[in-house]
């Protein structure tokens, strides 16, 4: 607060000198009687001090000098009209310089488009690696997790004082969980409560898990007021930092909460943003510490805010050939999707537990739902990779996948949420949780991005994945690209057989003497329909590591 007081004092003095006809204070005789007095100067100074202090206190604006250009320019022009002689000329010249500076900043977005694209540049690859069948392929949708937390809100003491805050995903002590702080429900509740009691967590991979309320008092929060406002607390300690995006709650492995916010620099002329690090605040004491991105503590997953990633996605898509091309020719321009769960991006985790923000890109042409590519941005470093997909195929974008789900469940009015593109068995595929009108999770839907007619759904991601594998065997897709799925040849005797009708084909599950289970579809192995116990088979299967291994080719000995 003391730093803001001194800053406002200095700027008020400078502003008063610019606005007030200073030379009139030194005039003598009759001219002095007609001129403004020192009392007038003091009145203007006090008024400007109050205005400047209030603006910076309530808006949390950064206290860099380039942020004062507009205000000082207006004062210089007004001061030039009030002054006379050489003072008028000097102030009007200052006003002219300010107008030029304002014009430059106003049109900086035209001139710095190339720099924005350079800052948002991504490594380009064709396709992500195939998905590991032993990992859980998708998270619980955030809308569903939030509903479960609301139903468990009775665990919070003095419930009427509080409401549920923003939801986000994080890896805590090796587990993927959603976190949501408990926030004040208004100014008077803040006065009565003083601190919030804690936060909720719920599994992001197990839809049957129940939310847990963790007690951990927090005084500095987004819903607190005056000096306890977390945004104001950060600004008071880092007055000249440039921030972008909302604060996020991060939990260390011991359950201790911290608020973080991404800081960085303007691309040029107070326009654009490039992330450099974070400020981390203890919400109980207000103590803050700054970290560069490379030094961020290991427990923090979202060092680069989703808003920053979304902004850089727009830079990468729009400014590939400069600003004017983004408006007119639009050569190679691609638009990032707005279907993400956080600021138009969706956080996901790879097999190592590292978090990335996913976004798919589509054409700027209206009515086109084909995907031009997709990106994954590391949430700790900001490094991004753009995947073009198989250029010989046309991939459906996330909006197209959501439309298929809407049509599939049109009578029930169910809808998809959080579509994520995976590489399942060498096939680019959208996996999307499906919710009902009350926000409850109903199933998981998988559809091929290249062949939308190949689609399945089931109550869990892994069950849907098993069905999808069979659907790929029946259809034009292939499971040849499955991760860790080498082709193995085997001869064995059948001891058990189970046949199940699926659509226009039959799935044949069977057990060999060696204890291994297999599944074949009559779609690509028509004679499998005749398989029975005691038959000897020669086959080629894919060693995916699952309980039922998919058969690629099969011959039943003795069957002509």
CB atoms within 10 A of CB 103: 10
Contact 431, 138 (CB under 8 A): yes
Q: Average model confidence (pLDDT) for the chain?
A: 88
Indicate if 11 and 52 belong to the same structural domain. Answer: yes
Indicate if 417 and 511 belong to the same structural domain. Answer: no
Domain boundary among the residues 418, 453, 482 is at: 482
How much is the average pLDDT of 196-216?
92
Q: Which two three-digit tokens encode residue 284?
A: 């109980």
How much is the average pLDDT of 421-438?
87
* CA dihedral over 193, 196, 197, 203, signed as positive or negative: positive
Residue 481: the pLDDT is: 44
Indicate if 411 and 474 belong to the same structural domain. Answer: yes
| Residue 119 maps to a domain | no
pLDDT in tens, 23-60: 666 666 555 555 567 888 899 999 999 999 999 999 99
Residue 329: the pLDDT is: 85
* Secondary structure (DSSP) of 387-398: E---TTSPEE-H
Residue range of the domain that includes 531: 487-556
Indicate if 504 and 442 belong to the same structural domain. Answer: no
Indicate if 524 and 454 belong to the same structural domain. Answer: no
User: Within its chain, how far is the Cα of 546 from the centroid?
Assistant: 33
**Percentage of the chain with pLDDT > 90?**
57
| Residue 471 maps to a domain | yes
Per the model's pLDDT, the better-predicted residue between 501 and 269 turns out to be 269
The count of structural domains within the chain is 3
Indicate if 461 and 396 belong to the same structural domain. Answer: yes
Least confident of 234-238, 475-479, 553-557: 475-479
Indicate if 536 and 495 belong to the same structural domain. Answer: yes
- φ, ψ at 210 (rounded to 5°): -100, 150
Q: Is the pLDDT of residue 452 over 90?
A: no
The single-letter DSSP state of residue 132 is P
Contact 291, 264 (CB under 8 A): no
Indicate if 97 and 70 belong to the same structural domain. Answer: yes
Domain boundary among the residues 482, 515, 530 is at: 482
| Residue 186 maps to a domain | no
| Dist CA 242 CA 13 (whole Å) | 25
| Residue 7 maps to a domain | yes
Q: Is the pLDDT of residue 182 over 90?
A: yes
Indicate if 501 and 543 belong to the same structural domain. Answer: yes
Band of the pLDDT at 275, cuts 50, 70, 90?
A: very high
Contact 294, 304 (CB under 8 A): no
Q: Is the pLDDT of residue 537 over 90?
A: yes
Q: Which two three-digit tokens encode residue 134?
A: 């032993």
| Dist CA 96 CA 491 (whole Å) | 89
CB atoms within 10 A of CB 157: 12
Q: Which two three-digit tokens encode residue 387?
A: 């995947």
Domain boundary among the residues 103, 126, 158 is at: 103
| Residue 35 maps to a domain | yes
Indicate if 4 and 68 belong to the same structural domain. Answer: yes
- φ, ψ at 496 (rounded to 5°): -145, 145
Indicate if 90 and 1 belong to the same structural domain. Answer: yes
| Residue 33 maps to a domain | yes
Band of the pLDDT at 16, cuts 50, 70, 90?
A: very high
Indicate if 418 and 505 belong to the same structural domain. Answer: no
pLDDT in tens, 108-153: 999 999 999 999 999 998 877 666 555 555 578 888 999 999 999 9
Written in H, E and C, the secondary structure of 43-60 is HHHHHHHHHHHHHHHHHC
Per the model's pLDDT, the better-predicted residue between 170 and 25 turns out to be 170
Per the model's pLDDT, the better-predicted residue between 294 and 478 turns out to be 294
What's the whole-model pTM score? Answer: 0.82
Band of the pLDDT at 212, cuts 50, 70, 90?
A: very high
CATH code at position 498:
2.40.50.140
Residue 339: the pLDDT is: 83
Q: What share of the chain is helix, strand, coil (3-state, %, to 5)?
A: 35, 30, 35
Least confident of 380-389, 417-426, 526-535: 417-426
Q: Is the pLDDT of residue 272 over 90?
A: yes
Contact 541, 551 (CB under 8 A): yes
Q: Is the pLDDT of residue 504 over 70?
A: no
């Amino acid at each position: 607060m003391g730093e803001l007081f001194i800053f406002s004092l200095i700027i008020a003095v400078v502003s008063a000198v610019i606005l007030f006809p200073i030379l009139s204070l030194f005039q003598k005789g009759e001219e002095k009687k007609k001129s403004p007095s020192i009392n007038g100067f003091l009145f203007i100074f006090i008024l400007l001090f109050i205005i400047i202090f209030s603006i910076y206190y309530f808006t949390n604006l950064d206290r860099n000098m380039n942020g004062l250009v507009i205000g000082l320019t207006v004062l210089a022009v007004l001061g030039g009209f009030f002054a006379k002689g050489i003072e008028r000329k000097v102030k009007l010249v200052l006003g002219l310089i300010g107008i030029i500076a304002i014009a430059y900043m106003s049109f900086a977005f035209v001139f710095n488009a190339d720099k924005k694209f350079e800052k948002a540049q991504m490594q380009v690859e064709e396709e992500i690696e195939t998905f590991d069948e032993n990992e859980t392929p998708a998270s619980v949708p955030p809308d569903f997790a939030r509903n479960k937390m609301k139903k468990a809100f009775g665990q919070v003491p003095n419930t009427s004082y509080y409401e549920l805050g923003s939801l986000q995903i994080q890896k805590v002590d090796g587990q993927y969980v959603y976190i949501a702080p408990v926030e004040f429900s208004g100014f008077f509740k803040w006065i009565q409560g003083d601190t919030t009691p804690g936060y909720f967590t719920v599994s992001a991979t197990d839809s049957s898990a129940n939310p847990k309320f963790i007690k951990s008092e927090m005084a500095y929060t987004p819903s607190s007021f005056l000096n306890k406002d977390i945004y104001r607390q950060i600004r008071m300690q880092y007055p000249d930092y440039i921030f972008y995006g909302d604060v996020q709650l991060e939990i260390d492995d011991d359950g201790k909460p911290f608020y973080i916010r991404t800081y960085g620099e303007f691309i040029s002329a107070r326009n654009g943003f490039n992330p450099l690090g974070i400020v981390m605040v203890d919400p109980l004491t207000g103590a803050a510490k700054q970290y560069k991105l490379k030094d961020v503590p290991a427990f923090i997953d979202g060092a680069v805010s989703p808003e920053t990633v979304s902004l850089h996605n727009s830079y990468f898509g729009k400014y590939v050939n400069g600003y004017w091309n983004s408006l007119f020719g639009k050569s190679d321009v691609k638009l990032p999707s707005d279907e993400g769960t956080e600021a138009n991006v969706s956080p996901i985790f790879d097999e190592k537990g590292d978090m990335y923000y996913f976004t798919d890109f589509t054409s700027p042409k209206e009515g086109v739902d084909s995907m031009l590519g997709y990106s994954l941005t590391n949430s700790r470093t900001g490094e991004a990779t753009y995947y073009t997909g198989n250029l010989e195929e046309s991939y459906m974008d996330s909006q197209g996948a959501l439309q298929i789900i809407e049509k599939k469940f049109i009578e029930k009015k169910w809808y998809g949420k959080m579509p994520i593109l995976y590489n399942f068995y060498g096939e680019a595929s959208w996996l999307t949780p499906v919710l009902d009108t009350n926000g409850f999770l109903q199933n998981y839907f998988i559809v091929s991005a290249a062949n939308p007619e190949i689609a399945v759904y089931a109550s869990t991601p892994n069950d849907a994945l098993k069905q999808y594998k069979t659907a790929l065997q029946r259809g034009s897709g292939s499971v040849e690209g499955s991760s860790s799925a080498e082709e193995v040849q085997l001869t064995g005797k059948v001891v058990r057989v189970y046949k199940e009708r699926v659509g226009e084909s039959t799935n044949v599950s069977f057990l060999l003497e060696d204890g291994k289970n297999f599944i074949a579809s009559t779609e690509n192995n028509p004679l499998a329909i005749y398989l029975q116990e005691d038959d000897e088979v020669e086959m080629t299967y894919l060693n995916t590591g699952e309980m039922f291994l998919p058969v690629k080719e099969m011959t039943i000995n003795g069957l002509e």
